Amino acid sequence: MGRKYIDCRDYPSENNCTVALSADSEGELLEAAVQHAVAVHQHQDTPELRAQLKTLFKDGSPPA
């Protein structure tokens, strides 16, 4: 499996978050993305959130 990432800049939010996260495994990326979503965006850690985040993962590394 290659590197994957998720980038908040692709999903506008009230606080205009510019965080991008990447990891070599989907599991590691999911845990980091959930922690970020809960701590910064006040989402609840639910199975639905985890499933939604996984659909937003992209291959490679975030653009500069």
What would the pLDDT profile of 10-42 be if each residue is shown by its tens digit?
887 888 999 999 999 999 999 999 999 999 999
Domain boundaries, the chain: 4-58
Distance, in Å, from the CA atom of 18 to the CA atom of 57, rounded to the nearest integer, reads 16
Confidence at 1, pLDDT banded by 50, 70, 90: low
Confidence at 64, pLDDT banded by 50, 70, 90: confident
